[in-house]
Structure 1
Amino acid sequence: MTEGKPYTNHDDQKNRGETKLQPNTTIIGVGSNAYLPNGWFMIRKVDNVIIRNIKVTNPCDLEPEWDSNDGPGNYNSEWDGLTVDGATHVWIDHMSFTDAPLTDDKLPLGKKDKNGVAKRVQCHDGALDVKNASDYVTVSNTVFEKHDKNDLIGQSDSNTSDEGHQTISFVGNLFRDIGQRAPRVRFGMVHAANNYYVGSKSDPTYPHLYSIGTGLRSKIISDNNVFEITGAAACSCTAVVKNPNTDNPEGNFKDTGSIVNGTTLTGCTAPTAVGWSLPSGYPYPKLATSQVKAAVLANAGTGKI
């Protein structure tokens, strides 16, 4: 993306780092090594877009900003690996998103928070975010790995215009060493099916906090997902599904057939009245839970189409 000339500052990175897609556009990476390093895709206010078979290194903001009101204090950065913003009919398939090689443990220490803890200068934002009443978005057969705040569905609790929109499917994806937001949902009608989640509560760089975030007025249907999280109690729904912001009521979540560390997911706290159902004729693989891990490992990511 830099065309051999490194970004000089935040504004230069903003001007040169973005690939903005037009409507009725398909981008397919050739072979197994198609690669977008330190740039990002923007799908904004367009219809009918497909992106397949490209590895994205999540961009690193050259000038993260310190926010003393973010919890006890933290760094915030701009730009996701891919953003869907007010767009419709989008298919994201056989992609890979990762922080590597610049993983969070390699970032320098910066300012201290209100508790006196020096925080790393976090240059990464999201991997893939969907916002502003986007509709009919499918994320399939994609690898997300080595990232903290991964997939955000709905950018703000105050953005109530998302109600009735954010219709999104996550099917057959691998979430490996992801800290949180896989995905984190506000308002959206989200279907998560046949995904494989693997990580550890004690990972030194990307400790698992939760996988699916049941944020404000979320309406999530979950089918046959497999969670293998070291340090999570077997069958514990609350170890992998939680409301990230307890200042607001928890959204709705209905699960069928998912397992945590080999045992049926139980004990969810979210209400199950999601208020919608999968449309008639809506196609997806519908794998048995016992088949999900092997199928995802065999099919997800670049070089497999």
Structure 2
Amino acid sequence: MHVPHAYFKLLPLAAIFALFSTTASAKDWPSGYSKCADEAGVCQVGDQPRLVSFGARDQWVVKPQKGVVTCDKATFGSDPLPNKIKKCALGPLVTTTPPPGGGNTGDASNEAAPATGWAGYGKGTTGGRGAGATSIYTVSSAWQLQEALKRSGTQPRIIKVYGNIDMASADNGGKFKSASDQSARNAIVLPSNTTLIGLGESAQIRNGRIVIKNVENVIVRNLQIVNPCDIAPVWDPNDGSSGNWNSEYDGLVVEGARHVWIDHNSFTDFPDTDDRAPVEKGKIKQCHDGALDVKKAADYITVSNNLFELHSKNNLVGSSDSASEDEGHLTVTFNNNYFRNVSERSPRVRFGKVHLYNNYYEGTKGKGIYPHKYSIGVGYKAKILSQNNVFDVAGAAACKDVIINPGSASKTGAMTDSGSLLNGSVLSVGPGKDCAFNSAIGWQVPYAVQPLPASSVRDSVKRNAGAGKLQVR
């Protein structure tokens, strides 16, 4: 894991909680660290840089250090707990070795969206590339993240996430107390010209929803995103034949935005999987909504190299059959994504010109926490171009087991496919075939791309998709 020496561009004035620690009692250093000095003492760090914490009572600054280090405010640049005795503790070595699993050899935080998807079309998507030194932030708490989002106006900014950022941590107000409180404090609203990217293999967002709304030129990469759990699901007796619980909050939502690249992230419900939810009114009290949704006339979006797992209603493109504003918009590419144990909507499309290529689907019909229902939903006025996708779904015997119209039979969409496989056999899509969709989608891909052959998709996607595969300096 590489952590730059200028670790805190944005200094914390509030708690920085233990990375991945779930204990309720206060700690004087992060989990896995070991005490090296009391305040004003010295730590013998050694010749190789290590992460060193300075603080107490769950409030620390963490910074790379080496050699003989004085445990004081001057060394760490901030006092996380004024007028209290603090301690220093040694953490892991800081290395420049790229994480396992491949990735680029440069700095992924400065990369632009490739030309092989809608986000790279036209003027392209560059996010925060070109940000000045004062607009590059490394953050490791909810408070720091929100402060970084307030600064720099619409100038390019790069925000690097280190460790576990929990939007329900004490430095952001603590556990959500009500539906209105959750709505007010769980939003991570990204401005135009922003790159939000994880450092290392385990940068994570918990109890938050990333919102990209009515802005342009945004990139989100290399993050573990735990899909948020609504603390107050609402029962709708008219949903379905016997009612259902409905929840708010997607892991990430793109609304009315243009030029957005979502790449190399991992989306999951774990640890709050549906089997842990109570059953009320005869139904699981579902607390999750979508993992990643695109709607409200958003355009030029690429969703690539992500891992989606352990989730039910995964991706919406277009929010409803009556969302006429979406007509002529929702230009979205899904490529090289890994859908593992996802029940449905991968994606479900209305209205959009959606290009699906080299995605890998893995699941099981009829059992498990997230049994497979369908993968691609060809909804009202959908215009889907599918190429060389691979479905390995136990219990699926035919195309209609993985691709359906999930809405009204009178409100149909169009889809064409070439080169895709279902359990090793050719996927049968088109008029008069098992998936008998209209093939007149009415558009062609406006960018150059040569998809991998289906025979290479499984190994390629499983090797490259998800967070922790990029080098970020």
Q: How many angstroms apart in 2 are the aligned matches of 1:297 and 1:136?
A: 26
Q: Which of 74, 92, 96 is matched with 2:244 structurally?
A: 74
Deviation (angstroms), 1:250: 2.1
Indicate the residue corresponding to 2:204 in structure 1. Answer: 35
Cα–Cα, structure 1 residues 283 and 53, in superposed 2: closer, same or farther, change >3 Å?
A: farther
State the identity %: 52
Q: How many angstroms apart in 1 are the aligned matches of 2:382 and 2:410?
A: 11
Q: Does 1:271 align with 2:438?
A: yes
TM-score normalised by the chain length of structure 2: 0.62
Q: How many angstroms apart in 2 are the aligned matches of 1:19 and 1:183?
A: 23
Q: Does 1:24 align with 2:193?
A: yes
Q: Gaps spanning 5+ residues in structure 2: where?
A: 1-166, 429-433
**RMSD of aligned C-alpha atoms?**
0.9
Cα–Cα, structure 1 residues 106 and 42, in superposed 2: closer, same or farther, change >3 Å?
A: same
Deviation (angstroms), 1:39: 0.7
Q: Which moved more, 1:19-28 or 1:201-210?
A: 201-210
The answer on whether the counterparts of 1:18 and 1:41 sit within 8 Å (CA) in structure 2 is yes
Q: Secondary structure at the match of 1:133?
A: coil
Query: Match of 1:303, as an amino acid?
Result: G
Deviation (angstroms), 1:237: 1.5
Deviation (angstroms), 1:6: 0.9
Q: How many angstroms apart in 2 are the aligned matches of 1:183 and 1:98?
A: 16
Deviation (angstroms), 1:205: 1.5
Indicate the residue corresponding to 1:248 in structure 2. Answer: 410
Q: Deviations over 1:233-252 (max 9, x none)?
A: 1xx21111100013433210
Indicate the residue corresponding to 2:302 in structure 1. Answer: 138
Indicate the residue corresponding to 1:224 in structure 2. Answer: 388
Q: How many angstroms apart in 2 are the aligned matches of 1:253 and 1:219?
A: 6
Query: Match of 2:440, as an amino acid?
Result: A
Q: Does 1:2 align with 2:168?
A: yes
Cα–Cα, structure 1 residues 221 and 25, in superposed 2: closer, same or farther, change >3 Å?
A: same
Q: Does 1:295 align with 2:426?
A: no
Deviation (angstroms), 1:129: 0.4
Q: Which moved more, 1:52-61 or 1:263-272?
A: 263-272
Q: Secondary structure at the match of 1:62?
A: coil
Deviation (angstroms), 1:283: 4.1
Q: How many angstroms apart in 2 are the aligned matches of 1:285 and 1:94?
A: 20
Aligned length, in residue pairs = 295
Indicate the residue corresponding to 1:93 in structure 2. Answer: 263
Q: How many angstroms apart in 2 are the aligned matches of 1:254 and 1:58?
A: 31
Q: Deviations over 1:179-221 (max 9, x none)?
A: 1000000000000000000001122321111100000000000
Q: How many angstroms apart in 2 are the aligned matches of 1:291 and 1:106?
A: 36
Q: How many angstroms apart in 2 are the aligned matches of 1:203 and 1:221?
A: 30
Indicate the residue corresponding to 1:13 in structure 2. Answer: 182
Q: Secondary structure at the match of 1:75?
A: strand
Q: How many angstroms apart in 1 are the aligned matches of 2:334 and 2:368?
A: 27
Indicate the residue corresponding to 2:23 in structure 1. Answer: none
Q: Which of 76, 79, 83 is matched with 2:253 structurally?
A: 83
TM-score normalised by the chain length of structure 1: 0.95
Deviation (angstroms), 1:161: 1.5
Q: Secondary structure at the match of 1:80?
A: coil
Deviation (angstroms), 1:230: 0.4
Q: Which moved more, 1:5-14 or 1:211-220?
A: 5-14
Q: How many angstroms apart in 2 are the aligned matches of 1:147 and 1:69?
A: 23
Write out aligned runs for 1:164-179 (5 A): 164-179=328-343
Indicate the residue corresponding to 1:115 in structure 2. Answer: none
Q: Does 1:119 align with 2:119?
A: no
Write out aligned runs for 1:153-168 (5 A): 153-168=317-332
Q: How many angstroms apart in 1 are the aligned matches of 2:450 and 2:440?
A: 24
Q: Gaps spanning 5+ residues in structure 1: where?
A: 112-117
Deviation (angstroms), 1:284: 4.1
Q: Secondary structure at the match of 1:191?
A: strand
Indicate the residue corresponding to 1:114 in structure 2. Answer: none
Deviation (angstroms), 1:3: 2.6
Indicate the residue corresponding to 2:353 in structure 1. Answer: 189
Quick check: which has more Rg, 1 or 2?
2
Indicate the residue corresponding to 1:151 in structure 2. Answer: 315
The answer on whether the counterparts of 1:193 and 1:223 sit within 8 Å (CA) in structure 2 is yes
The answer on whether the counterparts of 1:214 and 1:242 sit within 8 Å (CA) in structure 2 is yes
Q: Secondary structure at the match of 2:191?
A: coil
The answer on whether the counterparts of 1:171 and 1:284 sit within 8 Å (CA) in structure 2 is no
